Amino acid sequence: MALNILQLSQDNWRSTFDAGHFRRGLGYAEETRSTLLNLTDNNLLASCKGSSGQIYQQRIKLFPTAHGWSINGHCSCPVGYNCKHVAAALLTLERQQKSAVDHSALITPSQKVAEQRLEGIMPKPILSLGSHARVHFDARKGRMQEQTQHRAALAFDYQGHLAYGRQGKDLLIRQQPDLNLRVIRDASAESLLRKRLTDMGLSIALRQSEALGEHPGEHFELPNEATWLRFVDNHLPTLRAEGWKIEMQPGFHYNLAQIDHWYADIEESAEHDWFDLELGITIEGQRVSLLPVLLQAIRRTPWLLNGEAVAQRQDEEMLLVSLTQTDQRVALPFARLKPMLATLGELFFREPGEVNNKIRLPRADAPRLNRLGDGPPLEWNGGEPIRSFAHRLQALPEFKAKVPRDLNAKLRPYQVQGLAWMQALSELEMGGLLADDMGLGKTLQTLAHILGEKQAGRLQQPALIVMPTSLIPNWQDEAARFAPSLRVLALHGSKRRSLFKLIDQHDVVLTTYALLPRDLKALSAHNYRLMILDEAQNIKNPRSKTAIAAGQIRARQRLCLTGTPLENHLGELWSLFNFLMPDWLGDAKSFSRDYRTPIEKQGNEQRLAHLHGRIKPFVLRRKKQDVTRELPPKTEMTYWVDLSAAQRDRYEALRLAMDKKVRAEISRQGLARSQIVILEALLRLRQACCDLRLLDESDPSLKSSDSGKLSALLSMLEQLFAEGRKVLLFSQFTSMLALIETELIARNISYVKLTGSTQDRRTPVEQFQAGDHSIFLISLKAGGAGLNLTAADTVIHFDPWWNPASEAQASDRAYRIGQDKPVFVYKMITRGSVEEKIQHLQQAKANLARGVLDGGSQAKWQLTEEDLQALLEPLAP
């Protein structure tokens, strides 16, 4: 049967369309979007209302073939050919024929159509914006990936008639069956409007996207989220002001809510030991908390926790976030985000379920509020006392000291600053860590502070000072010299118990770390204005009886004094702050999770910076080279020594035996549980480097000449004494000092000696300072702190130890205030031995301390199997 357009059947033309266009055309036909305008022979003219409300026009030619109709359908939509609108027109014609609709009015086989022209009209630009999210399988990553595309479409409005594209063809619009409207487009004006967009960074979209579907217009795109945010935030308002019509589709990703203002709510606890902080924004009068929003953003983009990456962002750059409370999106400027992310870093250490609209912070963390004021204006609500406290803590360096009268000393400028710092912390009822280098006068600054508290009438209870036993005489002498008006009670020795009843009658009470746990009941029966730990690294083990006892004493202010607050690992620093401000850095487990593991094992610079920022107000650290320009120079050098033949043979035999023993232990228990065996092996190798008699005192065949290091020392001393030098000689091993002592006696060299067993420490110090002796033999543990030995101008470390801070402390017995001679420090190292390897590990520990206390970076440090292998390597041939 011959094909007849008045008896249309989709079976005869459906194969011309792809399934998608036919399916959507069927839907449009059912929704009666298509309107038939004219039917001439086998030509159909129709219009169709698109999804956005735009009217498209279709010109359709049907060609009969042996297999049905061939359709040549042109449409004014972006697809342009045999689209869903064309399918909708044919289906509408077929449906109306089946419903017996009379199409005679549409049929005008030979009628001429009149034409009306519309020209000289300036086009008005219309910019449509849309987004589309699609999920696809990413073969490279092996998982489903969501990708969101965004498009802008430019069209031109000629008195209600839309045109688009570059072709510049006139618009021909059938208004009536016998009347067409021809709109003459202004190609020059359209080109200028198009250029306006390209000048703003948009480019013609090369790929089709469903972001605007088949929306009319010339499609443009931008390369990334940052450029879209910048376009919407900076350029769209300009275009609107220029008269552009901006149409945003409902799902447009960058249809952003406008932020009215930023707010910070603070609610303090009644006890004033913590406060709740909420940060948020107000949109159309509705408050939205930002903490859960930021947490969600960080889970999606973890680089926000990378301080270096965030710092590189320009202040005007934006971060797009979704507001779950309002189902809106906002752009947050990095000018505001930078201080937020830096200030509240620990918020993001937690699990998602632990965070709500507010974050609870200890009072000691109040200084971090000051940074939140950076960036756009912030409206503060509540918390005036805690904010005032934060500003005062931040202003600690500018606090003016009240130097007490009757202080028998002229404080140097940095010592006045240290006094001011302690006085300011006292007014704020906060503790602090005075971490000056050795020799800068921590004792004098502390005595000045105590004297100032007394003269201000605040020393109603005494100051309790805990120290190593060896420092009791030093504190007594310093107090008598600099602050004689202070009543000092020293509690040590077997008769001390009879003095307990006199505690409240004195200004200063001295006790020792060894006696603190034993006398805890008597000491804790009193309240103290201050509790001060001198050489506070003595409580670096938080589980020790001493550390536990120190935490049980009641005091209004707590201070720690130490030149080495961090010797081996961050756990020692935590122990000090657990005494100063209990629970502030969390418990030991959470501190390890949040700081120790990321910093020590992973080298995480962001956690390091965050920890440094938290402790900074409460740590005063001055380096000798920065504050004591009046000190003469100090020269440090390594004095290389070769092992004797006997030492080399014994060292290598011992090394092989110990290597085998250590490896067997590690294989059995693992590296972490093999520390005792490892330390034993390294100890014996170090002893072999010093003198073989340290390994076997009963061997009569060994003599001093069998020790390459002892022979070198004796030769060095001969030269130093000839130059008139005064020498401090340190060793880890008291038995080594005894061997050196024997050699000095044999050579009739005058000396004094100080070890842990020395009962009278004051006499040898006074004799050496008076110039009665040329050399002072000191065990590192007994003489590493609290001594003033400025008569010396030369320091010799006979054997190295793991901790560079301990060696520096010992060296600073000579290089301290009062020294007027250049100081030379020699480290005697046996070449190629375990001693040389120890130096490398020392540097790693120094980096860790520098990073936390001074705010610098630090290298990763941990004792690995590779380190152990290096320590146990054979001697070089």
The answer to whether residue 83 scores a pLDDT higher than 80 is yes
Give buried/exposed letters for 281-302 (b at 16+ CB in 10 A, else e): bebeeeebbbbbbbbbbeeeee
Query: What pLDDT band is residue 245 in, cutting at 50, 70 and 90?
Result: very high
Which positions ≥6 away from 133 have C-beta within 8 Å?
A: 146, 147, 148, 149
CA distance 246 to 597: 52
Q: What is the mean pLDDT of residues 815-842?
A: 79
Tens digits of residue pLDDT in 330-375: 888 777 777 777 666 655 555 544 456 777 777 887 877 777 776 6
Contact status, residue 119 vs residue 159, Cβ threshold 8 Å: no
The DSSP bridge partners found for residue 266 are: 277
pTM over 0.75: no
Domains and CATH numbers, the chain: 5-109 (3.30.310), 118-135+148-248 (no CATH), 261-393 (no CATH), 396-627 (3.40.50.10810), 635-871 (3.40.50.300)
- Which of the two residues, 177 and 256, has the higher pLDDT score? 256
Residues contacting residue 815 through CB under 8 Å, at least 6 positions apart: 439, 624, 631, 634, 795, 823, 825
Evaluate whether 183 touches 161 at the Cβ level (below 8 Å): yes
% of the chain at pLDDT higher than 90: 22
Query: Which of 62-66, 341-345, 435-439 has the largest mean confidence?
Result: 62-66
What integer pLDDT is reported at residue 352 of this predicted model? 46
**Secondary structure element (H or E) that encloses residue 708, with its range:** helix 708-722
Q: What is the rounded distance in angstroms from the CA atom of residue 83 to the CA atom of residue 76?
A: 10
pLDDT of residue 785: 62
Angle at 39 between CA 37 and CA 45, to 5 degrees: 45
Give residue 806's pLDDT. 72
pLDDT for 794 equals: 86
Instruction: Provide the residue count of the chain.
Output: 877
pLDDT digits (tens, 9 = 90+) for 1-26: 567 787 888 888 888 888 888 999 99
CB atoms within 10 A of CB 758: 16
Kindly report the three-state secondary structure assignment for every residue of 366-425. HHHHHHHCCCCCEEEECCHHHHHHHHHHHCHHHCCCCCCCCCCCCCCHHHHHHHHHHHHH
* In the chain, % of residues over pLDDT 70: 87
Q: Which pairing describes strands 124-138 and 143-158: parallel, antiparallel, or unpaired?
A: antiparallel
Per-residue pLDDT, averaged over 375-384, amounts to: 80
- Is residue 840 pLDDT above 70, yes or no? no
- Cβ 663 vs Cβ 869: under 8 Å: no
Looking at residue 582, what DSSP letter applies? T
- Lowest average pLDDT, out of 233-247, 271-285, 531-545, 724-738, goes to 271-285
Supply the pLDDT for residue 305: 62
Closest-CA residue to 58 (of 21, 79, 85): 85
The tokens describing 558, both together, are 């707590």
End-to-end CA distance of the chain: 107
Q: How far apart are CA 504 and CA 489, in angstroms?
A: 10
Q: Is-contact 657 677, C-beta < 8 A?
A: no
Residues 659-699 pLDDT 10s? 888 888 888 888 778 878 888 888 899 999 999 999 887 77
Rg (CA), the chain: 42
- Residue 302, pLDDT > 80, answer no
Tokens 């930078």 belong to 338
653 three-class SS:
helix
The total of other beta-carbon atoms located within 10 Å of residue 168's CB is 12
Q: What is the mean predicted confidence (pLDDT) over 126-145? A: 78
Beta bridge partners of 69: 64
Q: Are 197 and 152 in contact (CB under 8 A)?
A: yes
Q: What angle do CA 452, 453, 458 make, to 5 degrees?
A: 150
Q: Over 60: is that where the pLDDT of 859 sits?
A: no
pLDDT for 255 beyond 70: yes
Enter the tokens of residue 394.
């931040």
pLDDT of residue 500: 92
Task: List, for residues 624-638, the tens digit of each pLDDT value.
Answer: 667 666 667 777 877
State the pLDDT confidence band at 308, using cuts at 50, 70 and 90: low
- How sure is the predictor about 238, in pLDDT bands with cuts at 50, 70 and 90? very high
Specify the pLDDT at position 549: 93
